Amino acid sequence: MKRIGMLTSGGDCQALNAAMRGVAKCIFNSGEEVEMYGFLEGYRGLIYGDFRMLTGCDFSGVLTKGGTILGSSRTPFKTIKDPDENGLDKVEAMKQNYYKLRLDCLVILGGNGTHKTANLLRSEGLNVVTLPKTIDNDLWGTDMTFGFQSAVNIATDAIDCIHTTAASHGRVFIVEVMGHKVGYLTLNAGIAGGADIILIPEIPYDIDKVIDKIEERNRNGSKFTILAVAEGAISKEDAKLSKKEYKEKMKNYKYPSVSYEIAEKIKERSGHEVRVTVPGHTQRGGSPCPYDRVFASRLGSEAGKMILNGEYGFMVGYKNREIVKVPLEEVAGKLKMVAPDARIVKEAKLLGICFGD
Ligand code: F6P
């Protein structure tokens, strides 16, 4: 008899349900006797013993469903060792709930923060298997995370829609793309949507270079320009600031987000009319694209296989077109970022795309 706990933590994304279904189908189909428990709203459910039993029926019809059937929440790693408002030791509470249910293992689906806590639980002696979810694709140890391709589709659709109106009005348009501190989503959606300028956190921008590109397009007869700007894009000046100086500067930041700052600077210095579009959380919503359904199902079934074999302490990742097991201690606490000299960046530059550098 296997007793398995499962939870989804952090910001949701597409294909979380597909991945859990993959795990469940693999294990339920194995013929092994199994009890499966779903902890509700991420680590919160594990801390406070909020769970429900899961059966095959829970996974019926969820392959195409966005969000997560277990709910999710953010439980920041930096405060995980602090007692809660009632003095509860959260790490100890998670361990006790694991032992009370006599679990053989926990399946944890999450991104960067989630992996730090998963690794902590592993180091505390719990059996853990994780799956890489995030639209940001910024998890160390895997070339791809599920949710990413679906989000690229949505961000690309947003740029596509802006294209026609930008062309009609001869305006400059900024589409702000999610991705937190990394630029994979913006880079891919920007190329797919035919953006003229792509600004990502890994390549700090010079606003004059951005304006030069807009003017060059105008001189060549293109009266509109589309910028795909990562929500974490940063100027060359700001990139030079220390963490402390940057934090201080941000205290008096007057813009809703970086795109509005860039828009104002373009208008001030060049007189061009600029419009900003922020698709925001739509990028995490809706049904997973076919790629993510297949990818998450594969990762899920591999995780199921590992659990049946009693192999714990790994994230199921994807490297060089192969599904791989990555030790959790290698994943936790590291960020995967776009290399400024990556081939895809060089290729984008050959297409004439400006990165503001
Ligand atoms: O990590 C996924 C993500 O969507 C990021 O791209 C974004 O910066 C962040 O989550 C938004 O978080 P929240 O949903 O908590 O506002």
Q: What is the CATH number of domain 150-284?
A: 3.40.50.460
In whole angstroms, give the CA distance from residue 125 to residue 123.
Answer: 5
- Mean per-residue pLDDT for 275-300? 98
> Is a pLDDT exceeding 90 seen at residue 259?
yes
Ligand 1, pocket residues at CB < 6 Å:
11, 74, 111, 134-136, 178-180, 231, 284
Residue 31 has pLDDT above 90, yes or no: yes
Pick from 272, 45, 305: which is nearest to 166 by CA? 272
pLDDT score for 32: 93
Q: Which of 12, 82, 89, 136 is catalytic?
A: 136
Active site residue 136: yes
Range 5-25 average pLDDT: 98
Report which protein residue has its CA nearest ligand 1's atom 14: 11
User: Residue of the nearest CA to atom 15 in ligand 1?
Assistant: 11
Angstrom distance (rounded) from CA 254 to CA 44: 34
* pTM listed for this prediction: 0.97
The Cα angle at residue 305 between residues 300 and 307, in degrees rounded to 5: 95
216 CA distance to ligand 1 middle (Å): 35
What atom of ligand 1 comes closest to residue 281's alpha carbon? Answer: 4
- The answer to whether residue 180 scores a pLDDT higher than 90 is yes
Q: 2-147+288-331: which CATH number, 3.40.50.970, 3.30.1330.90, 3.40.50.300, 3.40.50.450?
A: 3.40.50.450
Atom of ligand 1 nearest to the CA of 231: 8
**What is the percentage of the chain residues whose pLDDT exceeds 90?**
99
Task: Say what the pLDDT of residue 275 is.
Answer: 97
Q: Output the average pLDDT for the chain.
A: 97
Give the distance (Å) from ligand 1 centre to CA of residue 180: 6
Question: How much distance in Å is there from the Cα of 64 to the middle of ligand 1?
Answer: 22
Angle between helices 184-192 and 148-169 (to 10 degrees): 50
Residue 276 has pLDDT above 90, yes or no: yes
Structure confidence by residue, pLDDT tens digits, 297-334 = 999 999 999 999 999 999 999 999 999 999 999 999 99
Start and end residues for every CATH 3.40.50.450 domain found in the chain: 2-147+288-331
Distance 199 CA to ligand 1 centre (A): 18
Kind and range of the H or E element at 24? helix 16-29
- pLDDT above 70 coverage of the chain, percent: 100
Please choose from 136, 139, 257 the residue to mutate so as to test ligand 1's pocket, defined by most ligand atoms within 8 A of CB.
136
Phi, psi for 10 (deg, rounded to 5): 85, -170
**Distance between CA atoms of 295 and 318, rounded to whole angstroms?**
9
Quick check: 160 pLDDT over 90? Answer: yes
Instruction: Look at residue 124 and tell me whether its pLDDT is greater than 90.
Output: yes
CATH 3.40.50.460 region(s) of the chain?
150-284
Residue 170: what pLDDT?
87
Asked if the model's pLDDT at residue 210 lies above 90, the reply is yes
DSSP code string of 44-90: HHHHHT-EEEE-GGGGTT-TT--S-TT------GGGTTS--TT---H
Token pair of 286 as six digits: 């809706």
